[in-house]
Chains A and B, each alone.
Chain A
Amino acid sequence: MTGLILLAVYIAIFAVSMVIVAWATKQFFTRADFTSLKTVTFGDESAVNANRVASVISVLAIFALWVAFTNSSLPLFKAKGPFEGMVEFTYTATLPDGRSDDASVSILVYPEDIQLTVDANGVAGKIPEKLKVDLGDGFAKNDTLVIPRYGSKLISVFQNDEFKKSDGAIVTHLNGQALEPGEQILLSEGRLALTEKGTPFFEPSTGFRMARLYLPAPEVTTNRFLQLNREGYRNFTLLEHTWASLQRVLLGFIFGALVGIPLGYAMGLTNWARGWFDPIVEFMRPVPPLALIPLMIIWFGIGETSKVILLFLAALWIMAIAARSGVSGVAIAKVHAAYSLGAKKSQILRKVIIPNSLPEIFTGARVAMGVCWGTVVAAELVAAEKGLGMMIMVAAKFQLTDIVIVGIILIGVIGFAIDIGIRKLEGWLVPWKGKV
């Protein structure tokens, strides 16, 4: 339900901000560059550019929804939160002989993550004690209990009463309203019900926000990031975890490229090598690297070696295929021209085939780095002592969702940065790409 509301709000933000920005752009900016003068834009891919205002709003919208649907303390728009505080209701106990008596139940609903928070003095929160209440008169006595937010509890109202359930006492009214077993009353504070067996049951209302266990608020995540940065996690700093993952990826990728690129060239240049390696490459290419993890562990143990070899295998086939198609992509006129200009085979390779295959190699490198980065996180889920994948895996076992989210954001940001880095390198080394 909350998910659907979230989706609806998100779509609404998309549409409304589009209309507003389009209107504002029209009001305050007049552009007359070639693209904006095109009358046909729908269907003309070259007329479509990423609207950077949309990108900024998109990121802000995710952040705003994150704040709105979690128990964040940031002063932004908030969805209705879970009930927290005191709620009191009465129950009427009736005995078989018809005597009845009223008593009250006082419930304190406390934040479910209270033990994870600290107050202004740096003191960690504690689960609150039950309130002291006057037992009251009559045979039914007043009750008190504490419930965490998002929780629920059966209320053993007869526990302190003079007549127990075994004496035939039953609850007939809640808050003065007659209730059969299985019926319920909806209060603004939550749901009050009688179970099938006649026991009162209270569930505080949850609102539309997600509990910290499912999605911690942005500031909680940020604080966790700062704390991880300061104190590290599991004997290693955040930087060491990140570097451990990055190092495995780089090692695996470099070895994969060092073997894969010459292999691809050989396959592109000689019949024998193509025939020899074709079945191997075509067989290994569709095998997802994750499927090799168990075998790598059996062969090379659970240490670094097996992880680097796994990443090496992930990069190897991609780079080999990229280099092979780079060689096939050479226009035969270029090779013929070079031979006619007196080039020898080694010169053809160095001056024509290698430079000509660079665009394909870079495309392959981007794919391979992406696959390696995805694989390393999975590889670290099994027996690693450091690495981002290990960090989120261990944190998940302890239900530390904030660390999991810090890890996911870091993995995403670093993967994005790697891709941008390769693209920059490509623009510098292969300036002719797409211009021929």
Chain B
Amino acid sequence: MNNMLDITLLQLISAYIFIIILLAIVRWRKIPREKEIIIATLRMTIQLVLVGYLLVYIFENENWIYSVLVITVMETFAVYNIFKRTKKEMNADLKKIIAVAMVSGTLAAFLYFNFIVVQFSPWYDPRYFIPIAGMLIGNSMTGITLGVSALIEGFSSRKKEVEAALMLGATPNQASQGIVNHAFDSAILPTINSMVGMGIVFLPGMMTGVILSGAGPLDAIKYQIAIMLGITGSVSLSVIIFLYYGYKTFFNKRAQLKL
């Protein structure tokens, strides 16, 4: 763990040349994205530096309260981010369900992963607790965001199909089956695709990190396989919880479409 190559500040700064290249390209192509690129780079840098210092503190002062606090902040940010990234209008009930699905789905997968699969001790060890939670929550956030968009889009573009089915005596569940299945599919596809390309197309972040920190590739792979399975579980669980309750918000008590 201690034979990791350190990079100097100057070396780190030299990496920003890639952003300069990107800025040059968008300016040359007259693509109005300069502001977002600069903001994103600044945010990435500041956020990581802050998190770095925060983690140093948390790692040095191991306490279950800190670990739980970090996961709470992560969940809150993830839910907020889903609301922000979903461009379509959402009703209050749908927002509540997103929050519940996100928290319950990721926590269930996280607890299983920590207590059954990895079994680190103490259970709040921040070196494991925080990165694993981050990966499960981050991927589930992306999954639910895709699921929310597909669900809202499905109900608006296939409204007539849903109504036609209801008119024939379908339950809201039966009438929205196609939309819900499609939304689930869109939400988990990136996770499935990343499993397909894993190890061949790219070496995932966690594995790269473990290798860079000096561990052997085989140890890194074991962790990576476990975390990929955990991510898949977390994404599918949170997305299915969201969809199972989410579609119901599009109907009223008289089984009429609210749109």
Q: Please indicate whether A and B come from the same complex rather than being unrelated chains.
A: no
Question: Footprint of A on B, CB under 8 Å?
Answer: none
